[in-house]
Amino acid sequence: MARRKIIAGNWKMNMTPTEAVELIETLKPLVASDEVDVVFCVPAIDIIPAVAAVKGTNIAIGAENMYFEESGAYTGETSPKMLTEAGVKYVIIGHSERREYFAESDETVNKKVLKAFAHNLTPIVCCGESLTQREQGITIDWIRQQIKIAFLNVSADQAATAVIAYEPIWAIGTGKVATTEQAQEVCAAIRVCMAEIYDQATADAIRIQYGGSVTAASAAELFSQADIDGGLVGGASLKPDFGKIVNYK
Ligand code: PGA
């Protein structure tokens, strides 16, 4: 069975609530599509107005982060139940910016992935190597380790519904997109790793995105690769160009 593509915008720390609604109104007609799943991952404070603004469209709203506890004394954090009640369907887990600036580890990523599944949120699990790791030739080993820890104790049924985003750190926000071959090679390796952890059917069901400086110019070639099932798009998701990325064919 062919996997349905999933194209997600990662707004990062951009857009006030008012700007968020304006951007959604601009993008709504441009991202209309029957063929791919479209997700806008927005800052926590934008979630409620964003969910209202996408009502009746093909756009799903995602969060950019979530905590792994149910509730309690965790100042500044957002719980899974807060997200689901607000109408969130997806949550980015373990983005490299969170790993770098907010001390997220493979272990906290795993806790968050488990918690997301427990609340029927689809995690977009991020992995990716630094430029040094790529130059040292340890990219695949590194990614396999990130993935194996992220999916510890996740069942095959849950894993089959997951989205994994391969985002080489050196390609994020740099304008330096990975070559199609580099992106496909790692996405294929991630699928092999999932088949080893689970089985081929589970691995074949998982959607694997590429992320890192995706633009309307690079989307079509990237998304036509055998193991690339869409993209996680930062900068270009804030512009009308995102419509071209969604309708890349
Ligand atoms: P970028 O960001 O498209 O701006 O490189 C991608 C991401 O960090 O998800």
Q: What is the CATH number of the domain that holds 140?
A: 3.20.20.70
Assess whether the C-beta atom of 212 lies below 6 angstroms from ligand 1: yes
Contacts of 47 (CB under 8 A, 6+ apart): 61, 63, 83, 86, 87, 88
Say whether 19 is catalytic.
no
Mean pLDDT of 29-48: 98
Assess whether the C-beta atom of 213 lies below 6 angstroms from ligand 1: yes
Look at residue 149 and tell me if it is in a domain. yes
- C-alpha of residue 41 to centroid of ligand 1, in Å: 12
Closest ligand 1 atom, residue 96 Cα: 8
Helix (H, G, I), strand (E, B) or coil at 215: coil
Q: What are the tokens at 59?
A: 């756009």
The active-site residue out of 95, 97, 104, 129 is 95
pLDDT of residue 85 exceeding 80: yes
pLDDT value at position 176?
86
How far apart CA 146 and CA 142 sit, in angstroms, is: 6
Look at residue 132 and tell me if it is in a domain. yes
Look at residue 161 and tell me if it is in a domain. yes
Look at residue 22 and tell me if it is in a domain. yes
Q: Are 162 and 122 in contact (CB under 8 A)?
A: yes
Q: Give per-residue pLDDT as tens, 173-230.
A: 998 889 999 999 999 999 999 999 999 999 999 999 999 999 999 999 999 999 999 9
Determine which residue's CA is closest to atom 7 belonging to ligand 1: 234
pTM over 0.75: yes
Torsion, Cα of 48, 24, 35, 233 (10° steps):
-90
Look at residue 1 and tell me if it is in a domain. no
Say whether 167 is catalytic.
yes
Contacts of 231 (CB under 8 A, 6+ apart): 7, 8, 209, 210, 211, 214, 219, 222, 223, 245
Mean pLDDT of all residues in the chain?
97
- Terminal CA-to-CA distance of the chain, rounded, Å? 20
pLDDT value at position 1?
59
Look at residue 49 and tell me if it is in a domain. yes
Closest ligand 1 atom, residue 175 Cα: 5
Assess whether the C-beta atom of 238 lies below 6 angstroms from ligand 1: no
**Segments forming the whole domain that contains residue 230:** 6-246
Contacts of 56 (CB under 8 A, 6+ apart): none
Look at residue 180 and tell me if it is in a domain. yes
pLDDT value at position 177?
86
Look at residue 23 and tell me if it is in a domain. yes
- CA 247 to chain centroid, in Å, comes to 18
Beta bridge partners of 9: 40, 233
Q: For residue 125, what is the enclosing H or E element?
A: strand 122-127
Q: Give per-residue pLDDT as tens, 154-165.
A: 999 999 999 999
Count of domains forming the chain: 1
